[in-house]
Chain A
Amino acid sequence: MNAPTKTPNASGWKPGTPVEGDNAMGGPDTATGNRALMLEEPLLFEIGHSETTGVDFDFAAKLDLAGVEQPSPPTPAPAGRLGDFERSEPIGLVGLTEPETVRHYTRLSRQNYAIDLGLFPLGSCTMKHNPRLNEKVARMPGFADVHPLQPVDTVRGALEVINELAFWLIHLTGMHGVAMSPKAGAHGELCGILCIRAALEARGDARKVILVPESAHGTNPATAAFAGYEIEDIPANSDGRVDLDALKSRLGPDVAGVMITNPSTLGLFERDLKAISDAVHEAGGFVYCDGANFNAIVGKVRPGDLGVDAMHINLHKTFSTPHGGGGPGSGPVVFSEALSPFAPLPYTSRTKDGVVHLVEEEDADSFSKEHFGGRMRHFGRMTAFHGQMGMFTRALSYILSHGADGLRQVAEDAVLNANYILRSLEDVLDAPFAHSGPCMHEALFSDKGFADGLSTLDLAKGLIDEGYHPMTMYFPLVVHGAMLVEPTETESKAALDQFILALRSVAERAKAGDETLKTAPFYAPRRRLDETQAARKPVLAYKDQSAPAGTPVPSEVGAR
């Protein structure tokens, strides 16, 4: 595979941050510390103080905006109705004007990296492109202004959206039912595992063990443990896939189910999933599929055809709703026919007369008797209300605007882009599973071949200087110094080529033992931060000083 030959930065543009010291750009120091459009930004507490206010309440503060002292209040403050709960000490929050506040956050945002600024190799785990059409729809007053406690007759349109999205999620996954209320991936996992527990207990066969591969998302074993199960590892084969024979030999009357991510966190399709499902079902267990990576197969593969019993769908991954700080997650769970009767309340259902009903505790039994010919055995409720409505409108917009062919192309392009990355880099970076064939939506590399003393972290910091947010690092745990790159479907070949150029360059430096990588980044608003200290002694509240006092421990004085 030939490396891209395009020259980077042909125009010779230079970023304006100092390389070292105050004056490294060659020009004179500035009085403010700012460098033209590169603005230094203090903390809110350093900008304002608690004696001022940006809001014109009567006597809220002693000084007005111009700093003129205000007369005393003409009447005493109303007698406290809070009794002992009344605040006895000042809260200490700074008072800022609206423009001061807006500028503060806008300035900070300029020091950040974002999906709207460039390729984000963390991929959909953190954010993929959020089509603006979704945002337009979500902001329509009929959707944006509804409240979950409004009378049902006033929110028929919202119920239609939930039901329509539910229909498409079932259709796209080839499943039988869906719970729309879980609020994110891990919440969806819990919903699915509780459903499995309810189904097993209903047949008087409560089991003890859930099997989870070592490459699983950490939330998988955490979920199973939280639901009261013991966790056992499933070994992997040399291709990074679940070892079918080892799994089969472990199955037995104590195994409640398996949790398998497909495509896996290694960016690989579990080719044996159907055989795994058949074996698990034969042993009386259930198959939970972590659907976090459904974006790689949407429109191509229906998990229902692979024997999956429950799978959460991260609307904020596959269906492009904002997250990673930009919005809440949403994790609807689709169910097989065997598990559907145990799904949580509430749910929506369209009856023959065309009306979409919201089914909650009060009428769940009568509704299912009338329309499904029997009582369902809902395990309970995951949330107070009906789910992340704002994400439902966005996800449905995404599904309907793409259509069946568009969604298929989402998966195809995501996989094509990842394979382009994989094959463009495998000659400089070790790709542990590249021999097993194409990857799915993620390309996985290890730190094998780096010079002594240089690590994945150093490469990642070098990538910051190249103008990219680093990829997922040190996950999955089964690969040494893992680097997991998910370019997503929206990147053009030109964008991928530039990223590949940057990553090839830092990879070559890591292999050649370029010591400057150890102190990268050089051009970010801040140089390398002490992540160890941030984890050991986190400063979580402003306390007038920049670091906690105390006797330094060996790691702080550099004993290592």
Chain B
Amino acid sequence: MARYFTEEHEWIDVEGDSATVGITDYAQNQLGDIVFVELPEVGSVIDKGKDAAVVESVKAASDVYAPISGEVMESNEALEEDPALVNTSPEETGWFFKMTIGDKSELEGLMDAKAYKSFCDSL
């Protein structure tokens, strides 16, 4: 399993032909207490860099972008009941959705954990 990161603070775990997407610990920290998560519908097709989900905190509502293109296979229903999971476990149980990988080459431009850490340090 490989984990990649975007400059928009999404993470994506790649496992075979599918991937899991969420927002990073840095992102949840910046957003503050999450109060609502709007997830994409299963079966919808999302495009790399375009809106895929919405996350709303006490401060603001923000878009979550698709790190790569593909089809949504599953969304994390637990977030509807308890959006605080994004705060408590952003990079594990607070995942947003699982998707197919439309084009593996789209992963190439993404950062690994080390690169993402230095990206965040530079902000």
Contacts and interface: CB of A to CB of B under 8 A. Distances in A.
Interface of A: 218, 455, 457, 473-475, 477, 531-532, 535-536, 553-555, 559-560
Contacts of B61: 218
A536 B35 contact: yes
A218 B59 CA distance: 13
A497 to B, nearest CB: 30
A554 B85 contact: yes
Given A455-B32, A474-B60, A531-B33, 4 more contacts: A535-B58, A554-B84, A554-B85, A560-B87
Given A536-B83, A536-B84, A560-B87, A555 B33 contact: yes
Given A474-B60, A475-B60, A555-B88, A532 B81 contact: no
B116 interface: no
24 contacts: A455-B32, A457-B58, A473-B59, A474-B60, A477-B60, A531-B33, A531-B58, A532-B33, A532-B35, A535-B35, A535-B56, A535-B58, A536-B84, A553-B81, A554-B84, A554-B85, A555-B33, A555-B82, A555-B84, A555-B87, A555-B88, A559-B88, A560-B84, A560-B87
Contacts of A474: 59-60
Interface string B36-62: 100000000000000000001011111
Contact of B88 (A218, A473, A554): A554
A interface secondary structure, majority: loop
Contacts of A531: 33, 58
- Chain A CB count within 10 A is highest, among B36, B84, B87, for B84
A531 B59 CA distance: 10
A555 B61 CA distance: 19
Interface of B: 32-33, 35-36, 56, 58-62, 81-85, 87-88
Contacts of A477: 60, 62
A559 B81 CA distance: 16
A535 B58 CA distance: 7
A531 B81 CA distance: 17
Nearest to B83: A536
B35 A553 contact: no
Contact of A532 (B58, B82, B85, B88): B58
Given A532-B33, A535-B35, A553 B84 contact: yes
A186 B84 CA distance: 31
A559 B89 CA distance: 11
Contacts of A535: 33, 35-36, 56, 58
A560 B88 contact: yes
A475 B82 CA distance: 26
> Which A-B residue pairs are the 5 nearest by beta carbons?
A555-B84, A535-B35, A532-B33, A474-B59, A553-B82
Contacts of B56: 535
Nearest to A455: B32
Contacts of B62: 477
- Chain A CB count within 10 A is highest, among B58, B62, B81, B88, for B58
A531 B56 CA distance: 13
A555 B36 CA distance: 13
B82 A554 contact: yes
B47 to A, nearest CB: 12
A121 to B, nearest CB: 18
- Chain A CB count within 10 A is highest, among B59, B62, B82, B85, for B59
Contacts of B32: 455
A528 to B, nearest CB: 12
Nearest to A555: B84
Nearest to A538: B35
A85 B51 CA distance: 45
Nearest to B51: A231
A79 to B, nearest CB: 47
Nearest to B93: A554
A555 B35 CA distance: 10
B44 to A, nearest CB: 17
Nearest to A480: B30
A527 to B, nearest CB: 17
Contacts of B82: 553-555
A457 B32 CA distance: 11
Contacts of B36: 535-536
B25 to A, nearest CB: 12
B78 to A, nearest CB: 10
A554 B94 CA distance: 12
A535 B35 CA distance: 6
Nearest to B61: A218
A532 B88 CA distance: 14
Contacts of B88: 554-555, 559-560
- Chain A CB count within 10 A is highest, among B60, B62, B81, for B60
A555 B58 CA distance: 14
Contacts of B58: 457, 531-532, 535
Contacts of A455: 32
A221 B13 CA distance: 31
A479 B60 CA distance: 12
B118 to A, nearest CB: 20
A454 to B, nearest CB: 13
Nearest to A477: B60
A560 B82 CA distance: 13
Nearest to B56: A535
A553 B33 CA distance: 14
A475 B62 CA distance: 13
A553 B94 CA distance: 13
Contacts of B83: 536
A53 to B, nearest CB: 40
A553 B88 CA distance: 11
Contacts of A560: 84, 87-88
A491 to B, nearest CB: 27
